[in-house]
Every structure is written in C-alpha cells, then in structure tokens.
Amino acid sequence: MPATIITTAQQKGGAGKTTLAAHLAIAWSGSGKRVAIVDIDPQASLATWFGMRAENHVAASAVSGKGGLTHQAIAGWRVAAKAAELSRDHDIVLIDSPPHADTEARFAIAAADLVVIPVQPSPMDIWASKATITLAAAEKTPALLVFNRVPPRAKLNDVMTGAARDLGAPIAKSRIGNRVALASSMVAGLGVTEAEPCSRAAAEISALAREILKRAG
C-alpha cells in the first residue's frame, strides 16, 4: 500500500511549521509507522535537528518506538518524484515546504494527500493563510488548518477561530499550545513525545497526529 503523503505549508514565516513537522514525524514513528521526512526548505532547519538525532543516537533510538525515521533534503522541483519513490517503502511521507516560495510550495502541495497549515491565533497569521489555502484549492489537495502556539486566552482563541472559519478550510479539533517543551526537546534532536511523553505538549501532538492521519486516510 502506498504511503500517506502529508505536506506542511504556510506562506507566512514563523508559524511553527517546521517544529510541528518534526514533532509529528516523531509521534508517527513512535507509534510504529515508517516515516520519511522530505525537506525542501533551504533553511534546512529539519536537517540540523535530524543531525542532532544522529549525535544523540543512543538516547534517541531508545525511545523512538518500532517505526523508522529517515530524512532527505532536496530541491523543490524534485519533490513529487521523491515522494513517490519513498512512498513504496514508508507508511508516511512528510514534506516540509519553505515559506515565501510559491513555486516550491505548489510542488509540495500537489504531491500531497493532505496539506497541514499551521496558523497562530493572530489576525496576520490567519490572513496570510489564505494564500496557502488558495494554492491547495488550485491543486485540488485537501487542506487542514491547525492552530499552533495557542495562548491560554479563551476569548482571543474564540475570536480567531471565527475568523479562520471564513477562510473556507477545515480546522483541526486538536490544537497545540504555546509549550516550552516543544522547543526544548528539539535542542536534543528529540520530539516531545520522546523527551516528555507524559507532558501536555506530548498529548496534544499525539492527538493531532492521529487526527491528521484520520483525515488523510
């Protein structure tokens, strides 16, 4: 059976797209899935994080579960062919696309079964998400908005949720709070479900990982 192909995309920088991709990849791998990360972001942040995993191999492998995790950094124009290749021997192919790059993002979106669009609960982030939703619609690829770095202010979150509904894309039920554990675990090349498996951050990532696969399936 071919892999589920998921692209994380957001035209606005700073939405936490790459951080979210790393934690989702670890959550899926830890649940027994064979996961391939395809990084087409020139910033190569995922490559740096994956290198940290190699440096901390013993600690990382001890808690990574039964699945597998691989990483490849390639040029955006190659992403469709590479995703198809990796699909043959992985369960999930996760493509991390760059911000501010319509052409590369379009390639990554076109190759996907589902586009995950992280959005912080702010007017600027919500407005900026429209461009990515439009790209997904043009490629006939389903999109899912995911609220990320959500502060504990219920009124603000309710207002922003209402504004996001006007964009016309589904909104994930699972939300990711503004958790320190998400950043601190990545410093060691880990995901939060490895570093702090009993934390609220880990529970949120795990819930989102399950929801994404259900929607993409």
Q: What is the mean pLDDT of each run of 10 residues along the chain (217 residues)?
A: 91 88 95 94 87 67 62 87 94 90 88 95 90 94 95 78 88 94 92 95 98 94
Q: What is the pLDDT of residue 60?
A: 43
Q: What is the pLDDT of residue 102?
A: 78
Decide: helix, strand or coil at residue 25: helix
pTM over 0.85: yes
Q: What is the pLDDT of residue 57?
A: 59
Residues 47-102 have pLDDT tens digits of 889 888 887 753 444 444 456 899 998 888 889 999 999 999 999 999 999 887 67
Taking a C-beta distance cutoff of 8 angstroms, is the pair 39, 207 a contact? no
Q: What is the pLDDT of residue 62?
A: 41
Share of the chain above pLDDT 90, in %: 62
Distance set, CA 199 to CA 172, 185, 192, 195, 202 (Å): 20, 12, 8, 9, 5
Instruction: Report the distance separating Cα 171 and Cα 145, nearest Å.
Output: 5
Domain span including residue 67: 4-216
Instruction: Report the distance separating Cα 44 and Cα 24, nearest Å.
Output: 17
Domain count across the chain? 1
Cα radius of gyration (the chain)? 16
CA dihedral 106, 13, 163, 104 (to 10 degrees): 0
Instruction: Report the distance separating Cα 21 and Cα 37, nearest Å.
Output: 9
**CATH (domain of 86):** 3.40.50.300
Cα–Cα nearest to 20, from 163, 130, 113, 147:
147
Backbone φ, ψ for residue 102 (5° rounding): -60, -45
Instruction: Report the distance separating Cα 54 and Cα 101, nearest Å.
Output: 29
